[in-house]
Amino acid sequence: MTFCAPWRKDEESVCKELKFLKQFGGHKNIASYYGAYYRAPLTECSSELLEIVLEYCGGGSFYNLISKTNGHSLKETWIGYVCKEVLKSYVCYSLITYISISPGVAPHPQEPAIHRDIKSLNIMLTETAKVKIIDFGNSFDLDPQTGLCHEAEGTPHWIRQKGQRLAYDTKCDIWSLGITAIEMAEGKAPYADQYPVLHLIREAQPPKLRSNRWSQHFVSFLEYCLKKDPSERGSAEELLQHPFVTQLPPKKIIRAVIEKHLRTLPNGPAKGIHYI
């Protein structure tokens, strides 16, 4: 799978993307990074392109899966499976990790990081329904002294900030996961048709599922993800112990069902090249 980025248009974001892909691309729930290279401009007026080569995710994004599924709503077990796999990746990059500079050199600690753009468009499926996170262009290493970030980033409907100067930590990704779970259940994020939305998200009560057909475990899981106070929000480790993800059917069964569903989608869900 190749991502094409206009190199000079957003050099800082692309460099950040490469940094995090190199650092975390070995995790089983993060798309593997194979390299990057320049490509000549397509026309005299177009920009030079940097192609980023990642693990092929032939199942497409969950955004595509939602849009191509009847009712634009995924099964609860599928949503639980996705949440569990994404939480596993959180543990990878939200905790202090140890990076070895070279063979024989003792590893040194790497500060925790945050993704800052978790949403269905950035969660991919392989052809065998393995979950892979992509797009680390908004990712950020937290302050080594405070463990916080002060920059306002992310896609508005999936983030929760009290104000532009609010400092936040890894719990911002937990909020985004909760919003993404609602997106997978209802076909779109809360307030999807309303702009501007940041003020509404700050002032309103945390969003909830509109239908009462979902299990109490799912409702409870979302409540822990979508606490307005980050200190009350569940951590990735805590949420991995929640019944919503611990009481799922075996992973191989869920994957087999999703894989079968992918084969029924019109025209296939995935494309090989994405422009970012």
pLDDT in tens, 67-85: 998 888 999 999 999 999 9
Which token pair is 106? 């003792």
Q: Which residues contact 231 (CB under 8 A, 6 or more apart)?
A: 171
**Contacting residues for 250 by C-beta, under 8 A, at least 6 apart:** none
Three-class DSSP category at 49: strand
Identity (one letter) of the amino acid at 109?
Answer: P
- Please identify which of the residues 117, 135, 169, 173 carries the catalytic annotation: 117
- E strand or H helix that includes residue 180: helix 171-186
Highest mean pLDDT among 42-51, 127-136, 156-165, 250-259: 250-259
Encoding tokens for residue 147? 């463990």
User: Is pLDDT of 105 > 50?
Assistant: no
> Is omega for the bond preceding 196 within 30 degrees of 0, making it cis?
yes
- Predicted confidence at residue 155, as pLDDT, reads 52
How confident is the model at residue 243, as a pLDDT?
A: 98
Per-residue pLDDT, 17 = 80
Q: How far apart are CA 96 and CA 92, in angstroms?
A: 8
The CB density around residue 111, as the number of other CB atoms within 10 Å, is 13
Residue 178 vs residue 231, higher pLDDT = 178
Of the pLDDT bands very low, low, confident and very high (cuts 50, 70, 90), residue 12 is confident
pLDDT of residue 106: 45
Query: What is the rounded CA–CA span in Å between residue 155 and residue 66?
Result: 18
pLDDT grade, residue 220 (50/70/90)?
A: very high
Other C-beta atoms within 10 Å of 114: how many?
Answer: 25
More confident residue, 108 or 35: 35
Strand partners, 52: 3, 36
CA atoms of 203 and 72, how far apart (whole Å): 28
- The dihedral region occupied by 44, where left means phi > 0, alpha psi between -120 and 50, and beta the remainder, is alpha
The rounded distance, in Å, linking the Cα atoms of 174 and 227 is 10
Using CA atoms, how far apart are residues 111 and 100, in angstroms rounded to an integer? 14
Region label for 60, one of left (φ > 0), alpha (ψ between -120 and 50) or beta (otherwise): left
Question: What's the pTM value of the predicted model, to 2 decimals?
Answer: 0.80
Mean pLDDT throughout 258-273?
74
Q: How far is residue 202's CA from residue 231's CA, in Å, rounded to a whole number?
A: 16
Closest CA to 38 of 73, 2, 70, 69: 2
Domains of the chain, each with CATH number or no CATH: 60-267 (1.10.510.10)
Distance, in Å, from the CA atom of 74 to the CA atom of 187, rounded to the nearest integer, reads 8
Q: How confident is the model over 237-254, as pLDDT tens digits?
A: 999 999 999 999 999 999
> What would the pLDDT profile of 142-200 be if each residue is shown by its tens digit?
555 554 555 555 455 445 555 444 655 568 889 999 999 999 999 988 876 766 666 66
Give the chain's mean pLDDT. Answer: 78
Angle at CA of residue 226, ends 95 and 89, nearest 5°: 30
If one counts every other C-beta atom within 10 angstroms of the C-beta of residue 187, the result is 16
- Is 117 an active-site residue? yes
